[in-house]
Amino acid sequence: MSNDSIVILEGARRTPRADILHKNREAGVFSRYTTTQLGGKAIAATLDATEVDKSLVGHVVMGMAQHSHRDSIYAAKGMAWRGGLAQDVPALTVARICGSGAEAVAVGAEMILAGVRHDRARPFIVVGGAESMQYPFCLYNARGHEVGGAVQKYGPIDTGKLARGTYLQDMLLMSLYDPSAKMAMANTAEELARRYQISREEADEFGYRSQRLAREARDAGWFATETTPVEGELAGDKITVQHDTHIMDDVSLAKMARLPAAFEQGGIVTAGNASAVVDGAAAMVIGKESDARQHGARPLARVIGMGVAACDPQIMGWGPVPSTKRALDVAGIKGDAIDHAELNEAFAPQALAVIRDLAELGIDPERFNPMGGAIALGHPLGATGAILTLTCAHALRRTKQRYGLVTMCIGGGQGISLILESL
């Protein structure tokens, strides 16, 4: 990294993370929002809270894993104008699946440090990520039919006029299957459980820990400094969503033990020890430390290390181990220097395998996810990396600790890691 380091400015904000379904039946409270709308809300809240004039923002880089709505193709540009930025601010959408939000931080930092496309007159970049997991059903084998028959150009489908052989597929479910691994994402976690001899009891205990710690953090108000309330809708009524909705107040190990294996006969991954499917977004403003000083903006944390690595897609969840090794090397610190670690809990056995191996690098297992993780809080794919980054930065500030790790696995067999230094 350059001597003139990249800093995250104070004011980084996220939306609450909201279940895509309420009680697994009704539309979730954010179901009426597209990914670009959620991202715009996060950007607007961040710009309102950050001590930098909007006119000094020269670029936007936002992560998004998958197109979920008609406007998703416009992604980062749509988020930028919805967030209140001028139309002449360019925007880039990046997609590294589950690591997209962290990738946005990395790409934004690299754009500034490389200087090739950096706007010196507008030296700050908005980075983050957003995801509406309200993925649609996709219609196949409908090409070749005249528009205006079964399919309207901008309107609905007349199912009675669809030709034989057309069919629908759930974009959410089919996206979780990796052809290179020849298995779904949850089955890669089952494979790690076998290789690391992780039991169902250990997986449930980890899931219970996530819920317990998330509930304690919520009740203590620790998420309040990073979260902007968002108006949602439930059963036709407008409500203000202030907290992550998947945190459970009545969870117990006994209840978790009664849940059936969800993906393999005799498996250990259940609905209680896997990440929740939620909608959400996050944003932050980054820039050079010298530019922050020049413009009177207060930095929250310094980005001192980054690492990306790949691994066997059948154990895709192991990716944070090699990526963290690389990030620590770039940062020039050892694992035992890490005070706070945010690891995306895609699945309990995946997280446990990673924590076990990273402990060999000196990272204390108790320093991982002390405020809960995705099992309790949810995993909005393209947003997660950004959410964990600002959560880590805010937590380091609150606890007066120095070094933080942000890391997550990535479908297809990758990992991405960031090292933060609190300021």
The pLDDT tens digits of the residues spanning 282-329 come to: 999 999 999 999 999 999 999 999 999 999 999 999 999 999 999 999
Exposed e or buried b per residue across 26-47, where buried means at least 16 C-beta atoms within 10 angstroms of its C-beta: eebbbbebbbbbbbbbbbbbbb
Which residues are bridge partners to 127 per DSSP?
A: 61, 284
Domain contains 189: no
Domain contains 218: no
**Active-site residue, 138 included:** no
pTM: 0.96
Predicted local confidence at residue 1, as pLDDT: 47
Domain contains 88: yes
Predicted local confidence at residue 160, as pLDDT: 80
Residues 6+ apart with CB under 8 A from 124: 9, 52, 56, 57, 58, 285, 286, 287, 291, 297
Domain contains 165: no
Least confident of 112-121, 144-153, 329-338: 144-153
**Active-site residue, 409 included:** yes
The answer to whether the CB of 276 falls within 8 A of the CB of 376 is: yes
d(CA 306, CA 252): 37
Count the domains in the chain: 1
Domain contains 383: yes
Predicted local confidence at residue 3, as pLDDT: 63
Domain contains 334: yes
Query: Is the model's pLDDT at 139 over the cut of 90?
Result: no
- CB count in 10 Å sphere of residue 222: 19
- Domain with residue 34: its CATH number is 3.40.47.10
Catalytic residue among 98, 138, 311, 392, which?
98
Predicted local confidence at residue 402, as pLDDT: 98
Provide the 3-class DSSP secondary structure of residue 305: strand
Domain contains 173: no
Domain contains 214: no
Domain that holds residue 34: 6-135+275-422
Mean pLDDT of 167-176: 91
Give the DSSP letter string of 377-412.
H---HHHHHHHHHHHHHHHHHHHT--EEEEEEEETT
Catalytic residue among 138, 311, 392, 409, which?
409
